[in-house]
């Protein structure tokens, strides 16, 4: 089979964001667009000649076609073996695990995570390296530079690859291995958690719901929660993956996981609820009538990790992204283990994990995981909580409240402002960055500001420095506001404002975070002149 060299012209907009390249499906459908990006990955990021690569996606619209293009470009560039999840499906954490266990040179994940799907929705590609984690900022920058000057891509007329039959086939020089996307991941979960204990919990009448949001975790939940652990099949909501996620927004948050929320806040709610996102790396944990804040979830997991078989021997350290609540910092201090503060985006945790410095990490955006893979992991978090409930015999609210009584609470909420004109968002942030040095010692709405800065991170493992990672404003009472712009959107700009208030004890301990943070929300609007600069009088979304 011959390799063909096809001449092409650069597209100017292939700049990756927080997690790979995300664009509207119609943008990806332009002739040469996907080919250019894939070729740029090969040329700039990886020497894949003779290598094994893992590929799969979250099943969104264009997933199946993109896999075929990927196979042709892989063959054209001398890739020896492609390991693909059956039907082109692989959750992000399962892909990370496969890359590691199969010693692949890397992986290409076809996903736009929690962004909407369907022909009018979004598509995306994430690049993972041999460690199973996302490619570094500098590597993605090199890919972007390459896309700006690309003049040819290499392809071979292989396929179409039969995605539905597991096993090995040869397509010219390329071997394609179609694998069950769930099997190895499920085996890993069985090694980490006490499946017997969780099975007994369900056998004893414990009620629960899991919302797969018509995304990739449907088959994973059916195998692990239903077949192996005994959760009744009809307690898994939206279990069938659909190319448009059933028209929904596959993001496990109280607004988008509406089906689950209505069950959990209705009459006689189940005792446990959970959801995951498009590609299976996010999680939301609920108790009857309550959502566990992701920062609290990470803090609880850290405090109770030794209750779980896979973490019995304790944690080397923990990490959280900068905007994530500092609840876990308190636990780490009590356990006398290091707690790292990294920029937003999972890839910053990977060096710390590879270097053995941390075992658990998390982000406020409903992402938590551990050293078992190099991505965040939705179902893993669900199993962690179920295991905690099984060993302690306590309910979700009991676990959370006991935690707050012991460590105090960092009440956390986030407000997102969607700004149609991206330039206005950039301007707002630039003004904030310019004003930090003059803020310290001043007051905002009567509150003295103790610290204000632009977050910069120096990776302790490789020494790389990432600047402009958000603006932090901390008040005398340790309340904190963080401002940053989203790096995952495909249009306009989204200003994220993260609010956090420390409550030591007393009658406020269990009040809703949004209520507790209302004064901080006002302060944030005034510090950033949100109304004047954007014309928006209230957030587009409050999480």
Give the residue numbers annotated as catalytic, written as ranges.
113
Residue from 10, 118, 338, 487 touching ligand G1P (CB under 6 A): that is: 487
Q: Which is nearer to ligand G1P, 18 or 69 (CB)?
A: 18
The interface partner of residue 37, options being Zn ion, ligand G1P, none and the CB cut-off 5 to 8 Å by kind, is none
Residue from 57, 85, 345, 378 touching ligand G1P (CB under 6 A): that is: 345
Lookup: tokens for 130: 């041999």
Contact status: 113 vs ligand G1P (CB under 6 A): yes
Q: Which is nearer to Zn ion, 147 or 276 (CB)?
A: 276
User: How far apart (Å, rounded) are the C-alpha atoms in residues 515 and 537?
Assistant: 18
The interface partner of residue 217, options being ligand G1P, Zn ion, none and the CB cut-off 5 to 8 Å by kind, is none
| Cβ 143 vs Cβ 16: under 8 Å | yes
Q: Which is nearer to ligand G1P, 121 or 310 (CB)?
A: 121
Q: 200 phi and psi, to 5 degrees?
A: -65, -35
Strand partners, 447: 444
Interior CA angle at 414 toward 467 and 438, to 5°? Answer: 50
The interface partner of residue 486, options being ligand G1P, Zn ion, none and the CB cut-off 5 to 8 Å by kind, is ligand G1P
The interface partner of residue 279, options being Zn ion, ligand G1P, none and the CB cut-off 5 to 8 Å by kind, is Zn ion
User: How far apart (Å, rounded) are the C-alpha atoms in residues 85 and 97?
Assistant: 12
Q: Which is nearer to Zn ion, 279 or 363 (CB)?
A: 279
User: How far apart (Å, rounded) are the C-alpha atoms in residues 22 and 489?
Assistant: 8
Contact status: 58 vs ligand G1P (CB under 6 A): no
Q: Which is nearer to ligand G1P, 288 or 487 (CB)?
A: 487
Chain-centre distance of CA 507, in angstroms?
A: 34
Q: Which is nearer to ligand G1P, 279 or 359 (CB)?
A: 279
Q: How far is CA 490 from CA 123, 155, 255, 407, 528, in A?
A: 10, 28, 20, 39, 23
What's 159-226 look like in SS3?
CCCCCCCCEEEEECCEEEEEECCCHHHHHHHHHHCCHHHHHHHHHCCCCEEEECCCCCHHHHHHHHHH
Contact status: 253 vs ligand G1P (CB under 6 A): no
Stretch that binds ligand G1P, among 54-62, 199-207, 341-349, 422-430 (CB under 6 A): 341-349
The interface partner of residue 18, options being Zn ion, ligand G1P, none and the CB cut-off 5 to 8 Å by kind, is ligand G1P
Residue from 440, 486, 503, 536 touching ligand G1P (CB under 6 A): that is: 486
Element (H, E) at 403: helix 396-407
User: How far apart (Å, rounded) are the C-alpha atoms in residues 412 and 479?
Assistant: 10
- Compute the least distance from the CB of residue 244 to Zn ion, in Å: 17
Number of residues that bind ligand G1P (CB under 6 A): 14
The interface partner of residue 475, options being Zn ion, ligand G1P, none and the CB cut-off 5 to 8 Å by kind, is none
Q: What share of the chain is helix, strand, coil (3-state, %, to 5)?
A: 35, 25, 40
Q: Which residue, 514, 513, 539, is CA-closest to 525? A: 539
Contact status: 39 vs ligand G1P (CB under 6 A): no
The interface partner of residue 131, options being ligand G1P, Zn ion, none and the CB cut-off 5 to 8 Å by kind, is none
- Compute the least distance from the CB of residue 486 to ligand G1P, in Å: 3
- Compute the least distance from the CB of residue 212 to ligand G1P, in Å: 17
Alpha-carbon dihedral sign for residues 133, 138, 139, 143: positive
- Compute the least distance from the CB of residue 470 to ligand G1P, in Å: 9
Residue from 43, 359, 363, 415 touching ligand G1P (CB under 6 A): that is: 363
- Compute the least distance from the CB of residue 279 to Zn ion, in Å: 4
User: How far apart (Å, rounded) are the C-alpha atoms in residues 462 and 355?
Assistant: 10
Contact status: 488 vs ligand G1P (CB under 6 A): yes
User: How far apart (Å, rounded) are the C-alpha atoms in residues 356 and 354?
Assistant: 5
Q: Which residues bind Zn ion (CB under 5 A)?
A: 113, 277, 279, 281
User: How far apart (Å, rounded) are the C-alpha atoms in residues 357 and 73?
Assistant: 37
The interface partner of residue 134, options being Zn ion, ligand G1P, none and the CB cut-off 5 to 8 Å by kind, is none
- Compute the least distance from the CB of residue 168 to ligand G1P, in Å: 33
Lookup: tokens for 277: 């996102």
User: How far apart (Å, rounded) are the C-alpha atoms in residues 299 and 304?
Assistant: 9
Q: Which is nearer to ligand G1P, 59 or 362 (CB)?
A: 362
Q: Where are the beta strands (DSSP E) in 90-164?
A: 106-110, 122-129, 152-156
Contact status: 365 vs ligand G1P (CB under 6 A): yes
Element (H, E) at 4: strand 3-7
Site mask for ligand G1P (CB under 6 A), range 491-520, x = bound: -----x------------------------
Q: Which is nearer to Zn ion, 252 or 273 (CB)?
A: 252
Q: Which is nearer to ligand G1P, 196 or 467 (CB)?
A: 467
Element (H, E) at 300: helix 294-304
Radius of gyration (Cα) for the chain, nearest Å?
A: 23
Residue with tokens 């003295």: 448
Stretch that binds ligand G1P, among 135-143, 157-165, 343-351, 444-452 (CB under 6 A): 343-351
Residue from 346, 380, 404, 412 touching ligand G1P (CB under 6 A): that is: 346
- Compute the least distance from the CB of residue 206 to Zn ion, in Å: 28
User: Number of helices and strands (H, E) in the chain?
Assistant: 18, 27
Site for ligand G1P in 310-339 (CB under 6 A): 321
Contacting residues toward ligand G1P, per CB under 6 A: 18-19, 113, 321, 344-346, 363, 365, 367, 486-488, 496
């Amino acid at each position: 089979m011959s390799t063909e060299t096809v001449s092409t012209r650069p597209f100017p907009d292939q700049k990756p964001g927080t997690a790979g390249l995300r664009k509207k499906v119609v943008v990806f459908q332009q002739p040469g667009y996907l080919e250019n990006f894939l070729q740029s990955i090969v040329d700039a990021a990886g020497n894949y000649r003779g290598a094994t690569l893992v590929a799969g996606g979250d099943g969104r619209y264009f997933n199946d076609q993109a896999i075929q293009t990927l196979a042709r470009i892989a063959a054209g560039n001398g890739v020896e073996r492609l390991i693909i999840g059956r039907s082109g499906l692989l959750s992000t954490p399962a892909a990370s695990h496969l890359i590691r266990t199969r010693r692949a040179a890397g992986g290409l994940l076809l996903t736009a995570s929690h962004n909407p799907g369907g022909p009018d929705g979004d598509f995306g590609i994430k690049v993972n390296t041999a460690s199973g984690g996302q490619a570094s900022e500098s590597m993605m920058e090199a890919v972007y530079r390459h896309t700006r000057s690309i003049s040819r891509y290499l392809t071979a007329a292989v396929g179409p690859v039969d995605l539905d039959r597991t096993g090995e086939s040869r397509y010219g020089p390329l071997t394609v291995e179609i694998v069950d996307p769930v099997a190895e991941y499920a085996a890993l979960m069985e090694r980490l958690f006490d499946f017997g204990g969780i099975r007994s919990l369900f056998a004893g009448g414990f009620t629960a719901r899991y919302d797969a949001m018509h995304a990739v975790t449907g088959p994973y939940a059916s195998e692990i929660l239903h077949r192996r652990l005994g959760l009744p099949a009809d307690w898994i909501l939206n279990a069938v993956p659909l190319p448009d996620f059933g028209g929904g927004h596959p993001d496990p948050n109280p607004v988008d996981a509406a089906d689950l929320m209505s069950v959990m806040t209705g009459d006689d709610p189940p005792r446990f609820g959970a959801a995951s996102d498009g590609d299976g790396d996010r999680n939301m944990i609920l108790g009857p009538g309550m959502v566990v804040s992701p920062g609290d979830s990470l803090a609880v997991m850290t405090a109770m990790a030794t209750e779980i078989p896979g973490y019995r021997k304790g944690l080397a350290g923990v990490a959280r992204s900068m905007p994530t609540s500092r609840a876990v910092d308190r636990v780490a201090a009590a356990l006398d283990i290091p707690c790292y503060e990294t920029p937003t985006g999972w890839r910053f945790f990977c060096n710390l994990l590879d270097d053995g410095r941390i075992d658990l990490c998390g982000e406020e955006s409903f992402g938590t995981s551990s050293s078992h893979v190099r991505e965040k992991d939705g179902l893993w978090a669900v199993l962690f909580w179920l295991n905690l409930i099984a060993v302690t015999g306590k309910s979700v609210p009991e676990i959370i409240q006991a935690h707050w009584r012991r460590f105090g609470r960092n009440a956390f909420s986030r407000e997102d402002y969607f700004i149609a004109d991206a330039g206005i968002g950039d301007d707002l942030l630039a003004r904030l960055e310019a004003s930090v040095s003059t803020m310290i010692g001043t007051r905002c709405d009567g509150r003295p500001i103790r610290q204000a800065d632009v977050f910069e991170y120096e990776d302790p493992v490789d020494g790389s420095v990432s600047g402009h990672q958000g603006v932090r404003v901390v008040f005398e009472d340790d309340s904190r506001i963080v401002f940053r712009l989203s790096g995952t959107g495909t249009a306009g700009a989204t200003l994220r404002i993260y609010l956090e208030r420390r409550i030591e004890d007393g009658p406020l301990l269990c009040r809703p975070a949004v209520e507790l943070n209302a004064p901080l929300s006002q302060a944030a609007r005034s510090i950033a002149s949100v109304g004047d600069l954007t014309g928006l009088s209230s957030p587009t979304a409050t999480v």
